[in-house]
Structure 1
Amino acid sequence: MEFIDYYKILGLDKTASTEQVKKAYRKLARQYHPDLNPNDKEANKKFQQINEANEVLSDPEKRKKYDQYGQNWQHAESYEKTKQSQQEAGRYGAFTGGESFSGDFSSGDFSDFFTSMFGGSSRGGRSQPKFRGQDYNAELQIGLREAYTTHQRVFTINEKNIRITIPAGIANAQTIKLKGHGGPGVNGGPAGDLYITFSIAEDPVFKRLGDDLYTTVELDLYTAVLGGEKTIDILDGKVKLKVNPETQNNTKIRLKGKGFPVYKKEGTYGDLIITWLINIPVNLTEKQKALFRELSQS
């Protein structure tokens, strides 16, 4: 497995604080984000490495293991347990597997054992342990209207295109797992998983809160006073609404089942809440002003 220097990827040294790690990650993630570098494989690969580096260095426990074991940090626990078994075997003159040893391990034995654990040749034809591959984390940006319907997207990871189905109703910051699409396993071990976190951009017309949608619709003064009908756009078409006479500014109406689809509950939707914004007419003629004056004095 190729070694990746996470500190180098983020342009930091080992003394960097957690805040410096976060700051470097945000800056580089914006620079190499796939949406800003379409069809750029190198930028996409760099973006994945940046996410991977941030995942490890922003977590104190993972960072501690990484600093101590480098590329083998994910297997630190297994190594420590085996190391402890070796030391105990050395003290008692025996080792699991029937081989006999006397005294403690020398530094040479220790190094050879480490190599056999994490790659390279093993002594006496002993099979090497298998380890699960590293999990990957990635971010995928989509629009609110895309999140409204179930659709497919092609996601590129490690220069491989993966077609994923995004269920309708996916939420901002929600994470889904793609099993087996992470880093390769060690010595034939299973691959890690890929975790995709969704970033849903704000929409200029609709605001989403949970499964409900909110929007503001302009209404002319005459319809607000006299009543009538108003046709408005919704995410999957249009709807005609009845406007009651003497409707006041900022009046809210709720349309049941016209909001956002509920995640993985086909046919279930939140509500659409509409706020009427009454427009006051401008550029009135003298005749129109006179009619308003007459109306105000009646």
Structure 2
Amino acid sequence: MLVACLAMFMKPFNASKYEGVNFYQMIGLDTSASQKEIKKSYNRFLKQKKNFVNPSQTTLDIWEKTEEAYAILGNNYSRALYDLFGMDFLDSTDFQVAGYQSDEAIEALVKMIGKYPEELTNYGGMAFYPVEFTLEDFMFGAKRNVTAVHTVDCECPDGTVACTKCQKQPVMEIIEKTEIVLPKGAYEYHRIIGRGLGDAVSLRAASDIIFVATSTKHDRFERKGRDLYTTINVTLSEVIREDDKIIKGLDGTDVKIPLKNIQNLMEMRIPGQGLPDYFNKNQRGDLIVKFNLMIPETLTDDQKSQLQNLLPTDEASYL
């Protein structure tokens, strides 16, 4: 059991879009690939992405799945879970225990294979525990302190023979504090394993806790992989003047947005203004800006006349 000031309702991961997908095959590596090989493959992927000028939506969807594959396999914790459970663990983003087998399920397995599976003797699965971080935390990295109240086997003073206390109560509750570290540029649903923070193995309970990092809703930015998306309002006056617009980036720095030849709902990619790259900390994703062109609701007759003189009447000029 965990005690912490964390949100109870988390956004779920949609694993259905990865049905039938093998992450190792997707990135062209086998299950024995080292982390160094995965990083080299990831850098090749980034170079290929850079060659695309106007990628189609299909290409963008493939990129999203590929980045998710690298995010899972490039994190030793997530990779271990993927190798053990496959896609099933991806949906484990809220409070739950995965991998636990009930007594009834084990009995059915015994009847099927004719013997008791030794690996399930004390295995109680793994508890998944979501932890919310701000988008700024994913930008700069962050730490969270979590207090775990869990049940452990009684520890006798002599270390060998059960003491009087242990004979009456073989388990006891302890309070343990642990620090969760979110690396700079971590992907959404970054997983951190807390070894031994669950309950005692002798109780066939979940002894390990998987902390799942998710980002809270931001009032200006949305993340997709290492890219950030935002929508800005632009007045008709600004568009006509073609001035640059300055906005604050997620990291607090000024980002210059050119307004020349923009149209309503048009998207512009600003390189290097996204989140830090999880594998290459000196690189960043991009910022994708969508423009919301604001038209005045009321104009005087004189203003209307001036606009009519300024704006072209040829329809081809608006295509």
TM-score, normalising length: structure 2: 0.51
User: Which structure: larger Rg?
Assistant: 1
Q: Which runs of 5+ in 2 are unaligned?
A: 9-93, 108-115, 150-174, 314-319
User: Which residue pairs with 2:71 in the alignment?
Assistant: none
Q: Which runs of 4+ in 1 moved over 6 A?
A: 131-134
Deviations 1:227-284 (A, max 9, x none): 1121111101232425344422223221111101222532221111112221112332
Distance 1:132 1:284, change over 3 A: same
Number of the residue aligned with 2:118? 78
Query: Residue 151 in 1 paired to residue 142 in 2?
Result: yes
Structure 1: which 5+ residue stretches go unaligned? 5-31, 38-49, 69-75, 82-130
User: Which residue is equivalent to 1:63?
Assistant: 102
Equivalent residues of 1:223, 1:243 under 8 A apart: no
- RMSD between aligned residues: 3.7
What are the superposed Cα offsets for residues 32-82 of structure 1, whole Å, 9 maximum, x if unpaired?
984368xxxxxxxxxxxx94xx426xx5x71245776xxxxxxx633999x
Q: Tell whether the 8 Å contact from 2:196 to 2:209 is kept in structure 1 after alignment.
A: yes
1:163 Cα deviation from its structure 2 partner: 1.5
Report the Cα distance in structure 1 between the residues aligned to 2:294 and 2:271, rounded to whole angstroms: 26
228-237 vs 245-254, which deviates more? 245-254
Provide the residue aligned with 1:252 in structure 2: 267
Once the two structures are TM-superposed, the CA of residue 215 in structure 1 deviates from its matched residue by 0.9
**CA separation in 1, counterparts of 2:220 and 2:125?**
41
Q: Which of these residues, 265, 287, 293, is aligned with residue 278 of structure 1?
A: 293
Identity of aligned residues (%): 23
The 1:230–1:194 alpha-carbon spacing in structure 2 relative to 1, beyond 3 Å, is: same
C-alpha distance in structure 1 between counterparts of 2:232 and 2:257, whole Å? 13
CA distance in 2: counterparts of 1:185 and 1:297, whole angstroms: 77
Residues 169-199 of structure 1: CA distance to partner in whole angstroms, max 9, x if unpaired? 2333332212333333549xxx943211223
Residues 132 and 246 (structure 1 numbering): CA distance in 2 closer, same or farther, change over 3 Å? closer
- In structure 2, do the counterparts of structure 1 residues 186 and 244 end up closer, same or farther at CA, with 3 Å as the change threshold? closer
Following superposition, the deviation at residue 226 of structure 1 comes to 2.6
Contact 2:131 2:213 in 1 (8 A): yes
Aligned to 2:182: 166
CA contact (8 A) 2:101 2:124 kept: no
1:179 and 2:195 matched: yes
With 191-200 and 265-274 compared, the bigger mean Cα shift is at 191-200
Paired residues of 2:249 and 2:255 also in contact (CA < 8 A): no
Q: Residues 169 and 257 (structure 1 numbering): CA distance in 2 closer, same or farther, change over 3 Å?
A: same
Give 1:193's aligned residue: 208
Aligned position for 2:251: 236
TM-score relative to the length of structure 1: 0.54
- After TM superposition, give the deviation of residue 133 of structure 1 in Å: 8.1
Instruction: Describe the superposition over 1:158-177 as per-residue Cα deviations: whole angstroms up to 9, x where unpaired.
Output: 14221221112233333221
- Cα distance in 1 between the residues matched to 2:221 and 2:274: 10
Q: How far apart are residue 225 of structure 1 and its match? A: 2.0
